[in-house]
Structure 1
C-alpha cells in the first residue's frame, strides 16, 4: 500500500514551517555566534540609524559620523575580520552578516565601515610595519581615528595603472603631489592611505590629514550615497618622513588586494539593501488595497514578489558560500568579482521592482525603497564597474585579456 511521503515521515523529521523571511532555511547554516552578531548589529541600526537616516539622506550629510564611528568601534565592527591590535578577529561570514545588516539600514553606513576596515585598516594590517600598526590600528578599531583610502583619481577610475599622483624622494623624505576623487570619509579622516607612483612602482603612504599641503574638500550635490561623506583629496607637495611608506606593498597588487576585501563586504551588503526593499514591498502588498482587495492577491504582484525572493536568497547563499571560502583561505579575486557583479546587479533590480509595487509611494522618503535604489546605483559601479567585473570573469573563463 502506498502512503504519502509526509505521512511516512517520522514526526521528528517533518519540515519546519515555511518562513517568508528565510524561505531556504539559510539561518540553519549559521552558528549561535553568527546569529548573535547579526542580532547585535541589527539592533544598533534600529536604534541609531533608522530613526534618522531619511533625514540625513534628504539633507545630504552624516552629521554624527564621529559618534557613529566610536559606537561601531565599541561593537567591534571596525576592522572586524582582522586580528590583533584591538580588532575583533571575527570570521568572514560574521563580517558579511554585519555588512548585510548595516546596508539594510543604508549603504552609506556600510560604506563608512567598509572603507575604515576593509580598505584603510586592511592596508595597514597587511602591508604596514609593526610601528605603523601599533600607531593606527587600535585607535581605528575603536573608532577614535577614521581612515580613508585614496586610489581613484579624477581621470582614472577603472584604470589605476594610469594614476598621476606621484611621490618623489627629497633626501630621506617623500613629497606627494596629486589628486584623488570620490573618497569616502576623506574630510573626516585622521589618516589617508594614499597610493602614488614612485620610481620603484606604485607604493602606499600613510598621510596624516593635518599634514601641510593636504586638503580634502567635500563633494556636494550627490544624488546617491547622500548619508555618507565623500571627498576629493588634494596633495600639494605633502612632505612625509621615510617611514610613512607601507613597506609590504609595491605595485598595484597591494591596493587591488584591499579592493577585493572591500568588494567581499559589498557582496553581503547589497543583499541587505535588497532585503529591506523586498520586505517593504511584501508588507505594502499585503496592506494596500485596489479593486477591493490587497494588491498582494493579484497574480502579477505575486510573480514580482516571487522573483524578488528568488534573487534575494540566491544572493545571500552566494555571499555565504564566498564567506566560507574566505574563512577556509580558498577565495579567489575572480570569485569575489562573481559575487559583486551578481549581487549588486540583482539588488538594484529588486529595489526597482519594489518601487513598482509601491507605485507613487515608492518615490517617497517615507519609505526606504528609492533611497536604497539610488544608493545602489553607486554601489553597482564603485570598487569595480559592472563592465570591469564582467571582463575579470571573461578573462578567467577564456584565458584572454580583453582589458586593453
Structure 2
C-alpha cells in the first residue's frame, strides 16, 4: 500500500529537524568533519580528472593530498604572518588616521566639524575609543586566529577526513543513490544535480575569481608602495563573493590609507584608485560572466540572508554551511515554485483524475472460445469419471480385502 504524501513529508521533516538539532548541539565537534567533507567535495573533480589520465584512485588522491598540504604549508608560513603583521600595524595606525582626517575636516569645514558639533564629537570619541580598545582587540583577534590555525582538529582531523572521503567519494555517492526512496528517486536525483551545479559553479568559480582578484589587488598595491597593501588586497578579494562589497570596503580602505600616506602626491593616489577600477571592470565584464556564469542561482541578497541566519543559529558552523544550504534551499524553492504553478491552487483548474487500469481485450478467431469451453467440459467430465472409478475401486477393496 502506498504511503500518503503527507506522512512522507512528516517523516522527512522530522529527519531534517533532527539533523539541524544535531548540528546545533554538536557544532564544534563536527566542524572538522564538515570542513573535511567540503574539501573532498571541491577536490573530487580533480581526482576524477587524474583517474582519466591513467592514475589509480589511491594515487590520484595521494598526489592531490601532497599538493594541498604543500600549498597550505606555504600559505601558513609565508602569507599568514605577513597578514597578521600588517593587520596589527593597521590597527595601531587607525587612530592616527582618524585624527588626521578630523583635523583635515576641521580645517576645511570648521562650521560642520568643530569640537562642539556632533560630527566633531563623534570623531574625537571614535579616535579615543580606537586608541584605547584596539590594542586589546588586536591581541584577542591575533590569539584567536593563532589558536584556530594551530588547533589539532583543523590541522590533523580535516586532512585525514578529506583524504578518506575523497578516496571513497564515488562509492559513497552510489551508496546514497541506492538508499533514495524509489518513488521519488528520479526527482531527488534531478534536484541533487541542480544543487551540485549551483554549489560547484559558485564555490569553484568564485574561488578562482577571488584568487585572481586577490593576486591583482595585493601585488598591485604592494608595487605602488601602499602601506598594508597586501592585507587590504586580500581582504577585498575575500569579500568580492558579494558583488560590490569587496571593492567598496577594500577600495575605501585603500584610498583612505593612500590619502594618509601619499598626501600631496596625487599620482600615487590615482594609481591606487586605478588598481581597484581595473579590478572591478575585469571582474564585472570577464571574470564573473566567464568563470562563475549566470546559472548558479545564488543571488547576493539570498547569500547574505543565509550567512546571517545560519551564522546566528549555528555560529561558525552555520557560516561554513551557509553557502551549500543556500544553494540547496534555492533549488528546492525553485522546484516548489514550479510545482505550485502547475497545481490547481495557481491555475484555478483541478487536474483530471488519473485514468484507471485499462481492460485488455484479446481478439481470436471465431469459435475459439466455444472450442475452449467444450474442451474444458470434456476434461471436467473425464476427471469426474476418473474420480468415480477410483471411489468404486476403493469401496471394492474395503469389502473384499483378500482380492487386493
Same fold (TM over 0.5): no
Larger strand proportion of the pair:
1
Rg comparison, structure with higher value: 2
Larger helix proportion of the pair:
2
TM-score normalised per structure 2: 0.25
